[in-house]
Amino acid sequence: MQNRKTAIVTGAGTGVGRAVATTLLGKGWNTVFCGRRQAVLDEAVAAAGQTEARALAVSCDVTREDQVDALFRTAVDTFGRVDLLFNNAGSSYKSTPIDEIPVSVWNDIVGVNLTGSFLCARAAFGVMRRQSPMGGRIINNGSVSAYAPRPGSVPYTATKHAITGLTRTLALDGRPFDIACGQIDIGNALTEMAQAMTVGVPQANGTIAAEAVMDVQRVADAVLHMASLPLDANVLFMTVMATKMPFVGRG
């Protein structure tokens, strides 16, 4: 166990986070499944099955500094170090014009998507620069919304653009400490949150249309590739998307 790398995956109870955490565990990473709901995390760990690596389910609200710090203390106490953070926890809201979006919704989405990513990256950075051997990797879950918005998505799109700034700055600031930081921008992975894509979602031209989706395992495999690189190499940005989704080109 001491020779294994350790990963922390936020939002690991469902969707992309669960797929990534399960894949890392299966490939020999000691993996901390982090999320708000302990029962969901426990089920995800149980479903992952028996592996040579160890899984740990830790309930944590990523918007709470004290809970995030406790999460990382638990990981270090259990496994000795942290080699990877997949900053994945996030939330969104239905397509809505800005003047109809409650301020509480804005605050909630900023709290999870941006402040939560900051708090987890902050804790990971602090552990990685002080452990021996020094270093590690942070992978932020961006989105194709970090480049192009969907209609009526002000809170979500604003936070995902901000994640790009977080990624670039951490990639720079991490250099003296052998901390690499990259971002995966995901388009239409088929999770519970993306089920609406298969039925119909608002398009830039005002229509409603179904969109192509891809298996979420494609995302997990992409994150595994990024995570498996030696620390002298970094995938700064990767876009993995359903091939036929209406992202590239004009609507």
Alpha-carbon distance of 203 to 44, in angstroms, equals 34
CB 25 within 8 A of CB 56: no
| CB-count exposure of residue 64 (10 Å: 0-12, 13-18, 19+) | middle
> How far, in Å, are 11, 72, 249 from residue 220 at the CA level?
13, 22, 26
Alpha-carbon distance of 160 to 115, in angstroms, equals 12
Q: Is 93 a catalytic residue?
A: no
| CB-count exposure of residue 147 (10 Å: 0-12, 13-18, 19+) | middle
Catalytic choice (18, 156, 163, 187): 156
Query: How many CA atoms are closer than 13 Å to the CA of 24, on its beta-carbon side?
Result: 33
Q: How far apart are the first and last CA of the chain?
A: 51
Alpha-carbon distance of 210 to 188, in angstroms, equals 11
User: Using the 8-state DSSP alphabet, how is residue 92 labeled?
Assistant: -
Residues with a catalytic annotation lie at 156
